[in-house]
Amino acid sequence: MGFENKIRFQFWVYPQTMKDVEQHFRSDNCKSQSEFIEKAIKFYVGYLDAERHVNYLSPMITETVAAAVKGTEQHITRILFKVAVELGKLSHMLAAAHDVDEETLRQLHSMCISEVRKINGIIDYEDAVKFQKE
């Protein structure tokens, strides 16, 4: 924008405001106090526009994240269902193949609860084989 496009107008400010302008316009690399005031006005207008955009964008971002979380939740739920079906099949095959008494089953259940708590749910087949051989 060249100087020929500028318009001149009068405005009223408090003396302290003008002292602030005089004190800071050079530190902002402005050639004049008018340039400093114009930059300040543009900055404030940008701030107001950004505030309106935040009010518009915040719900959109929230909806997008909520949709992504819901999609992930549904995906995990489907996978857990498939794992539960496979575990059920495995449990029924083992029960059919081995005759386990009630007391041994209770002890196994208790041991598995303790182990899963200790390993934070990360089950390793190789570790289970080592445990059974000891």
- Mean pLDDT across the chain: 87
pLDDT per residue over 43-102, tens digit each?
999 888 887 777 767 777 888 899 999 999 999 999 999 999 999 898 888 888 888 888
Residue linked to tokens 């059974």: 132
Q: pTM for this structure?
A: 0.44
- Please state, in angstroms and rounded to a whole number, the distance separating the CA atoms of residues 40 and 53: 20
- Give burial (CB, 10 Å; 0-12/13-18/19+) of 33: middle
Query: Could you tell me the two tokens for 14?
Result: 């408090």
Query: Could you tell me the two tokens for 103?
Result: 């007391």
Q: What residue spans of 98-123 are helical by DSSP H?
A: 102-118
> Domain ranges in the chain?
13-99, 100-134
